[in-house]
A and B are shown apart, each in its own frame.
Chain A
Amino acid sequence: MTNVVVDADAIYFASRETSAAKLWRRPRSGGPIEPVIAAYPGLLRGLTLVGQHLYFVLRPLGGGQQGPAASNLVRVAKTATNGTPTTIGPANLHDVATDGTWVYYGAGAQIRRVRDGS
């Protein structure tokens, strides 16, 4: 397991297997662990929860020493099951932070932010 975030409803955590990243949801009320996204062939980092969405950075496998553009900030509904993340834009495979309204992340030498909801 790599990242973990929580809210009143569930624990959300990322796991890394040999060649795939997975994102899981475990309801606080109990019950089975549910896959928020389908297994992703790459790395998942910077998991952050804002409102009704999980934000994180995905980087595909392959390519060796890749630049920042190879990874992207994405988001998916926290209630999704085997959901497909929406790509927001290039991001460093690193931390993602929030003030509850904006999501902050690095993209190369830039600090960027995106609002959760237009």
Chain B
Amino acid sequence: MFAFASSLSLGTAMCSSSSPSTGDAEQTDLADGTFRGVFTGTNDLAGVAELAVTAADRAGATASLRPRAGGTSPYTVSGRVTLNVAGIGPIDVTGTLDLATGAVALSGTAAGAPVSFEGRYEGGVVRGELVTPFGRGPLALTNEELGGVRVHCGTFEGSARGRVGAIVTNTRAAAVFAAADGRAAGGEGTIDGPLVTVTLEPEGSATGTVGAGQLTGSWSFGGGSGAFAATESACSALTPPDAAADAGSDAGPPLVDAGPPGEPETVYTLPSGVDVGHLTVAGGRVVYSVGHVYFTQKRELATVGVDGSTPTTIVPVNDPQASPQHGVAGITVLGARVYWLAGRAGSDVNLWSVASAGGAPTDHGTVHGALNEDYVDGVPLLVNDGASVFMSAYGPSGSAIRSFDGSGSPVATFGGGDELIGQHGIVLDGANLLFGDFTASARSRRRSRARRPRSSRRRATGSSTR
């Protein structure tokens, strides 16, 4: 069994020896054109991709899109990756393919965060690892000039469960696997009639039978084995972002139960011995507040890798005499900044932010009166959608939903009067901002300017509380 981190090697140890050999001319001829591919990743991610590869020195040329044989100048690459993430449209990516080294590098942006791909090209096939804000995993593409390209998406079961994607051409095949427990593998191989054989990296294999829009077979990697099934129609059903966002659908086939929970393990022990306070996970790091009790007038934030590596204090503990602050009430990570709420002496609450790597905090000003802090531990009061930060404020001086742009500047406020009564947790589902209050749950269309919810409290969906 191997950890998902090992899939990183997919990006650099590409194109196994199992790849059919290709001559220099074919290697070059198949470098440009349209590539279609599949992606599977952590967090139940799946996706499809389409890239246009053009010789850089021929970009814009009309005589021929095919580079001269033996040419080694970098190729330009542009295209789109579509994921099964509701509310996220196709992700535009651009980059280069260097025929001399086989290196392929792409970049883009999704939900305000970077998307990157590093892989290798050989003989009309590109494979590597795609990293997105939502997860990471193997991506494989083939040149349509290989002929008969069919892209399949599906799931696998057995001693591990997860997503599978496969591309079958007239002569070659490629497949990617990502298990629900984080393991991943990818590789390529051959097709003989309906029989498909793929050698997986770092190790393993998959064999199957393709036909009538389906690919079914068995897999073996990471010490496990089982069966898989994928169809061309499942790829088409991957979330057409925006269109399905309102319904919150994530199209693709649902994963089955991942099984009993594992044994808890310690990631990191705070040297101060103070309890862990709020925490969130972003970019492979746990971002947390040190849980100083409120009467100490201290706030302190830090991060540590999800594997316990590189603990870093990003906001040192304050001097409670010189600058007393109440405890942190909510954390969210937007782009490269960490946002949090913290009360100040005098009982108002300010929005703060700091670079994810630490540095001087930015005080974005008072955003609300005092919060009922005894309620906020373990209740998310800050969320973001990759572009805006949303705050749920509930305090003795009133309640409100507020939004702020990426610079921390206030955009809109919803609340006041009797419209909201003590809302607590909030959550985004790609199209709506959902929140609860003392009597119900409701939702509001997620907009840059918060507006009155379509469902008022009187038409709310929740049940009586308190």
Measured CB to CB, the nearest residue on chain B to A21 is B465
Interchain nearest-CB distance for B372 vs A (Å): 12
Residue of A with least CB distance to B377: A94
B444-466 CB mask vs A (1 if < 8 Å, else 0) is 00000000000000000111111
Contact among B260, B261, B270 with A110 in the assembled complex (CB-CB below 8 Å): B270
Q: Bin the interface of chain A by size.
A: 35 or more
When chains A and B are docked, how far (Å) is the Cα of A104 from the Cα of B135? 16
Stretch from B59-67, B92-100, B114-122, B430-438 at the A interface: B430-438
Q: Are B248 and A113 in contact (CB under 8 A)?
A: no
B436 touches A4 (CB 8 A): yes
Instruction: Give chain A residues whose Cβ lies under 8 Å from the Cβ of B264.
Output: 73, 88-89, 107, 112-114
Which A residues are in CB contact (< 8 Å) with B435? 4
Asked if B263 is an interface residue, CB under 8 A from chain A, the answer is yes
A4 → B minimal CB distance (Å)? 5
Q: Contact: A99 with B265, CB < 8 Å?
A: no
B269 close to A113 (CB less than 8 A): no
Contact with A along B263-276 (1 / 0, CB 8 A): 11111111011111
A99-B434 in contact (CB<8A): no
* CB-based contact A111/B288 at 8 Å: yes
- The reply to whether the CB of B258 lies closer than 8 angstroms to some CB of chain A is yes
- Whether B109 is near chain A, meaning CB under 8 Å from some CB there, is no
Smallest beta-carbon distance B408→chain A, Å: 21
User: What residues of chain A lie closer than 8 Å to B280, measured between beta carbons?
Assistant: 95, 97
Are B438 and A1 in contact, with the CB atoms below 8 A? yes
Q: Is the interface of A mostly helix, strand, loop or mixed?
A: strand
Stretch at the interface among B193-201, B358-366, B398-406, B420-428: B420-428
Give CA–CA (A68, B461) in the complex, Å. Answer: 33
Q: Are A97 and B441 in contact (CB under 8 A)?
A: no
Chain A nearest CB from B161 CB (Å) reads 8
Residue B181, interface by CB 8 Å: yes
Q: How far is the CA of A56 from the CA of B237 in the complex (A)?
A: 32
Within 8 A of A (CB), among B219-272: 247-250, 255-270, 272
Interface residue from B249, B270, B375, B427 paired with A5 (Cβ < 8 Å)? B427
CB of B43 within 8 A of chain A?
yes
Please tell me if the beta carbons of B276 and A93 are within 8 angstroms of each other in the complex.
Answer: no
- B contact residues, total (Cβ < 8 Å): 72
**Bound form: Cα–Cα A62–B170 in Å:** 69
Q: Is B429 located at the chain interface by the 8 A CB criterion?
A: yes
Contact B378 A111 (CB under 8 A): no
**CB neighbors of B among A77-107 (8 A):** 77, 86, 88-89, 92-102, 104-107
Q: What distance in Å separates the Cβ of B361 from its nearest Cβ neighbour in chain A?
A: 20
Which of A28, A51, A52, A68 is the one whose CB lies under 8 Å from B247?
A28
Instruction: Tell me if B461 and A33 are in contact (CB < 8 A).
Output: yes
Closest CB-CB distance, B320 to chain A, in whole Å? 20
Chain A residues with Cβ below 8 Å from B424 are 1-3
Q: Are B281 and A99 in contact (CB under 8 A)?
A: yes
A3, A17, A112: the one within 8 Å of B425 (CB): A3
Given contacts A6-B427, A104-B306, A110-B270, contact A94 B180 (CB under 8 A): no
Any A CB within 8 A of the CB of B336: no
Contact with A along B165-201 (1 / 0, CB 8 A): 0000000000000001110000000000000000000
Cα distance A55–B265 when bound, in Å?
16
Q: Is B130 an interface residue (CB 8 A)?
A: no
A92→B436 contact, CB < 8 A? no
Asked if B461 and A3 sit within 8 Å, CB to CB, the answer is no
A79 to chain B, nearest CB (A): 10
Report B-chain residues with C-beta under 8 Å of the C-beta of A113. 264-265, 267, 306
Going nearest first, the 3 A-B pairs with the smallest beta carbon separation are A117-B258, A45-B378, A106-B276
Can you show 29 pairs from A to B with CB atoms below 8 A apart?
A: A1-B437, A1-B439, A2-B375, A4-B434, A4-B436, A6-B429, A6-B434, A8-B248, A13-B436, A15-B462, A15-B466, A17-B466, A18-B466, A47-B425, A88-B261, A92-B275, A94-B275, A95-B378, A95-B380, A99-B306, A100-B42, A101-B42, A110-B269, A111-B268, A111-B270, A111-B286, A114-B261, A116-B258, A118-B260
